[in-house]
Structure 1
Amino acid sequence: MTYTASFVPETLTRAEVDASVGPLVLEFGTNWCGWCRGAQPLIAAAFDQTGAGVRHVKVEDGPGRPLGRSFKVKLWPTLVFLQEGQEVARLVRPGDAESIVQALQQLTSP
């Protein structure tokens, strides 16, 4: 899967995330967040480079949103890298594409 452009209201439950098969990146934030908008070129570049086969779900986060709270998200954007429903890496406000590429490689390396 390729990079996803917009955040959407929660479409997954924590139980569905925990039961997910294969690599998955959850990106928590909002469409109006300046930090989130600023990170998008970095995230898109990383997915273009090494994100083949990785599902990318952008979750609109905020107070009272259960999925973000279950992952203890405090700042946006927060990227949670999961393999078979288990967290293998996390990036909060990534400042460069390379750190995202490295986290993606943890999901795609045999």
Structure 2
Amino acid sequence: MIHAEGVAEVTDTTFDAEVGGSGLPVLVEFTADWCGPCRQLAPVLSAIAREEAGRLKVVQIDVDRNPETASRFAVLSMPTLMVFKGGEPVKSMVGARPKRRLLQELEDVLPAVV
């Protein structure tokens, strides 16, 4: 798996605990080794995980090794980015995007900065 630095990897087994058990919104990247755009997204996710650490948890899941979770959320394209709150998906985006655009798209699901 193309691992983004500072981003935890979840599996079919750990998904519910890591994503559902988080007090923060969780950005999940559904990724795969063969996915070119996923490689482009890795540094973007690393930066967002670092910069938004107090407001957002960022994790990755490899769809080839964890088919149950991918099929549960009907993920067909890589990368798919989903935001979960309280274990429920609240936003879904498909495809790589630059950091600024991704942050804009996440604005409505992130808690306000105090």
Match of residue 110 from structure 2: 107
Percent identity for Structure 1 against Structure 2 = 24
| In 2: Cα distance, 1:20 partner to 1:3 partner | 19
Segments of structure 2 that go 5 or more residues without pairing to the other structure are: none
Structure 1: how far apart are the matches of 2:10 and 2:20? 21
Match of 2:49 in 1: 47
1:21–1:88 CA distance, 2 compared to 1 (3 A): same
Query: What is the match of residue 92 of structure 2?
Result: 90
1:20 is aligned to 2:52:
no
Whether the 8 Å contact between 1:78 and 1:90 is mirrored in structure 2 is: yes
TM-score (norm 1): 0.72
CA RMSD of superposed structures (Å): 2.9
Hey, what's the Cα distance between the residues in 2 that align with 1:64 and 1:10? 5
Shift of 1:19: 4.1
How high is the TM-score relative to the length of structure 2? 0.70
Code of the residue aligned with 1:4 in structure 2: it is V
User: Which residues of structure 1 form unaligned runs of 5+?
Assistant: none
- Three-state SS of the structure 1 residue aligned to 2:75 is coil
- Tell me, in whole angstroms, the C-alpha distance in 2 between the residues paired with 1:91 and 1:18: 17
Deviations 1:15-55 (A, max 9, x none): 54774342212111123421211111222233333343422
Q: Secondary structure at the match of 1:108?
A: coil
- Equivalent residues of 2:11, 2:62 under 8 A apart: yes
Aligned residue pairs total: 107
Structure-2 change in CA distance of 1:31 and 1:53 (3 Å)? farther
